[in-house]
Amino acid sequence: MLPETTEVLIIGAGPTGMALSIVLHQAGVDHVLIDRLAQGLQTSRAGVIHAQTLETLQPLGVTQRLSELALKLQNFAIRDRNRALLKLDFSKLPSRHPYLMMLPQNLTEQVFAERIAALGGVIHRTVEAKAVVQDADGARVTVIENGREKLISARYVVGADGMQSLVRRSTGIEFDGAAYDASFVLADVRLDWPVGPTEVSLFFAPAGLVVVAPLPDGSYRVVATMDDAPEKPEIADIQALFDSRG
Ligand SMILES: Cc1cc2nc3c(=O)[nH]c(=O)nc-3n(C[C@H](O)[C@H](O)[C@H](O)COP(=O)(O)OP(=O)(O)OC[C@H]3O[C@@H](n4cnc5c(N)ncnc54)[C@H](O)[C@@H]3O)c2cc1C
């Protein structure tokens, strides 16, 4: 049942909102976590977690499980065709996590959700925030659940609602930063890959960049700059990238 009052209302159960929920659970702070989606997205998004992020996540009690699901890589290379221009060895990082942790974002989110459940928490799904109004005591947030409008009063509201954040727009916070000019194509594919599943490779080519990174399920994440990148690339699009740049 969706509470009507809370100390902290977190809008958005992506990695940011879920990480905050875990921290607030651990600190014993009353909060409510909502998301408009019925379940987390299963699309390809972030694929690597770096050492410093893992150190930050350590107190949340998720790194062991992330580690079990992930592929850990120590090698990164910048290549021109099959010639290595630069090689980096992550095993030399002064960290308890001296590697690149390859893990698709949907699995990272699954681990965070499991941790919230283990702490006795709930993600209130299919609850969409529609309006945020601040007053002297905090904020009132209008949400829609099962087609019905409800009001949640919170001392604090956290906008973890992603790129098009309603919270940011409602509170008049400017988008502080810049968007990339380049357009990117992204695909998770099965490859006959001579480099093998032990290295993240970045290819420099006159036509643009290509990154090839192995994933834990044996597939490879391919990301490349591309003018007018197709939203749903075909095999031929990816093969053409390798033929011209890889
Ligand atoms: C194609 C693609 C590839 C990417 N690749 C990488 C990568 O390689 N490396 C990397 O670091 N990052 C990558 N990213 C970016 C990464 O996915 C985001 O930085 C990350 O998801 C941000 O997490 P978040 O929790 O802040 O927001 P989000 O993941 O966007 O989560 C926001 C959540 O808020 C919910 N929400 C939004 N509005 C409302 C509302 N009004 N009411 C209720 N719920 C709401 C949404 O349903 C969503 O679940 C990629 C993104 C995309 C799209």
Mean pLDDT of the chain: 95
Residue 246: is its pLDDT beyond 80?
A: no
Query: Closest ligand 1 atom, CA of 105?
Result: 17
Asked if 213 contacts 47 with a C-beta cutoff of 8 angstroms, the reply is: yes
Confidence of residue 193 (pLDDT cuts 50, 70, 90): very high
> Which domains occur in the chain, in start order?
5-46+107-170 (3.50.50.60), 74-96+180-245 (3.30.9.30)
Task: Give the model's pLDDT for residue 129.
Answer: 98
Q: Is residue 36 lining ligand 1, measured as CB closer than 6 Å?
A: yes
Measured over all CA atoms, what is the biggest interatomic distance in the chain, rounded to whole angstroms?
Answer: 62
Q: Is residue 37 lining ligand 1, measured as CB closer than 6 Å?
A: yes
Helix (H, G, I), strand (E, B) or coil at 114: helix
Q: Is residue 118 lining ligand 1, measured as CB closer than 6 Å?
A: no
d(CA 99, CA 106): 20
Asked if 184 contacts 225 with a C-beta cutoff of 8 angstroms, the reply is: yes
Average pLDDT over residues 136-152: 96
pLDDT tens-digit profile of 108-133? 999 999 999 999 999 999 999 999 99
Q: Who has greater pLDDT, 227 or 46?
A: 46
d(CA 59, CA 23): 8
Q: How far is the CA of 195 from the centre of ligand 1 (A)?
A: 31
Task: Give the model's pLDDT for residue 234.
Answer: 93
| ipTM beyond cut 0.95 | yes
Share of the chain above pLDDT 90, in %: 89
d(CA 133, CA 85): 54
Q: Is residue 187 lining ligand 1, measured as CB closer than 6 Å?
A: no
Protein residue closest via CA to atom 53 of ligand 1: 45
Residue 11: is its pLDDT beyond 80?
A: yes
pLDDT tens-digit profile of 47-85? 999 999 999 999 999 999 999 999 999 999 999 998 999
